[in-house]
């Protein structure tokens, strides 16, 4: 239900939540750690920086970090600027539905979309870090061996 772009962004936020709040992480290191293409991830994270979710700093010791506490950043906050999930409420039948006589699946689709948005708004980055016992030293995405660094 979420694009690969959003999944990469969520993984980046989870990783950033494991570092000290006054530290910055370079985009290349972050991309390697979460197994995402560096240029691609940089563009996505730049978009989320403009949304106020991340802070960036240029130069030596620069990079990105969370702009606010992980407990206040929800999956919705990350997904909305990338996918505009809130605007996807239209029935999947599009023009074949939503007229005078909605299709028989319209109500179920509307409920599913509402439940999905509520889920995204309920889950925050800190919850994901805590529930999955993620820590900075053990952070590893599938397919990456820690000894390859």
DSSP state of 53: S
How far apart, in whole angstroms, are the C-alpha atoms of residue 28 and residue 139?
16
Quickly name the fold that domain 4-84+124-142 has: Arc Repressor Mutant, subunit A (1.10.10)
How far apart, in whole angstroms, are the C-alpha atoms of residue 70 and residue 61?
22
Domain segments of the chain: what residues?
Answer: 4-84+124-142
Q: pTM for this one? A: 0.85
Retrieve residue 37's tokens.
């293409």
How far apart, in whole angstroms, are the C-alpha atoms of residue 1 and residue 6?
10
How far apart, in whole angstroms, are the C-alpha atoms of residue 3 and residue 57?
27
pLDDT in tens, 28-52: 999 999 989 999 999 999 999 999 9
Comparing 108 with 95, which gets the higher pLDDT? 108
């Amino acid at each position: 239900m979420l694009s690969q772009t959003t999944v990469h962004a969520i993984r980046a936020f989870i990783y950033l939540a494991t570092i000290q709040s006054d530290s910055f992480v370079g985009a290349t290191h972050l991309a390697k750690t979460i197994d995402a293409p560096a240029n691609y991830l940089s563009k996505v994270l730049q978009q989320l920086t403009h949304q106020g979710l991340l802070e960036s700093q240029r130069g030596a010791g620069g990079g990105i970090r969370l702009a606010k506490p992980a407990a206040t950043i929800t999956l919705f906050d990350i997904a909305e600027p990338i996918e505009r999930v809130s605007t996807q409420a239209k029935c999947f039948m599009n023009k074949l539905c939503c007229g005078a006589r909605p299709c028989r699946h319209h109500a179920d689709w509307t409920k599913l979309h509402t439940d999905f948005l509520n889920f995204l708004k309920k889950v925050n980055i800190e919850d994901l870090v805590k529930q999955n016992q993620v820590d900075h030293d053990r952070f590893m995405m599938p397919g990456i061996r820690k000894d390859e660094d």
